[in-house]
Amino acid sequence: MKKPALFFLCGLLFSLALSSCVSVKAYQKMYLNDSEMELSGKKIEMFETNYETYREGASGANGGKVGGGCGCN
């Protein structure tokens, strides 16, 4: 538990530190605004995320569902 927490904390610090310096203007975001650059799972992936949630003991942190539906089959 400690290692991933440290990893997450470092990542968070790194991102927060960057936020004070990096400043990409709206008109420079041609690449960042591309739909392939979205920082979330794609809509079409939702079905895959759903069965992965059921077929694996692990879930979460990817926008997938964490409750509702037994997935018991």
Partner 1 sequence: MVVTNKIKGMILKKTIILLALICGCQLAISQELFDSFDSAQDTAQNKLKSSYQMKANTNEIEANFLSSYYNQDGNNSPVTGGIGTEALTDFANVFIINVPIDSINSVSLFGGADSYTSASSDNIDSNVSSASMEDTRGYGTLSYNRKNLKRSETYGIRAGYSKEFDYQSFSTGLSYTKEWNEGNSELNFTGQAYFDKWLGKEHSTELIYPEMWLGDFLGYQKLTNPNRNSYNAQLFLSQVISKRLQIGISAEIIYMSGLLSTPFHSVYFADKEDYELDIERLPSTRLKIPFGVRLNYFPLDFLVLRSYYRYYTDDFGINAHTFEFETPLKINSSFTVSPFYRYHTQTASKYFAPKNQHLSTETYYTSDYDLAGLYAHKYGLGLKYYPTFGLLRSQPIFNTHGVFMFKYIELRSAIYKRSTDFSAFNISINLGFGFK
DSSP secondary structure string for all residues of 24-71: --GGG-TTTTSGGG-SS--GGGHHHHHHHHHHSS---SSS---SSS--
Is residue 59 close enough to count as binding partner 1 by CB under 8 A?
A: yes
Q: What is the DSSP letter of 72?
A: -
Q: How far is the CB of 54 from partner 1 (least distance, A)?
A: 7
Any contact of residue 34 with partner 1 (CB under 8 A)?
Answer: yes
Q: Verify binding: residue 44, partner 1, rule CB under 8 A.
A: yes
Contact positions vs partner 1 (CB under 8 A): 1, 4-8, 10-26, 28-32, 34-40, 42-48, 51-52, 54-62, 66-70, 72-73
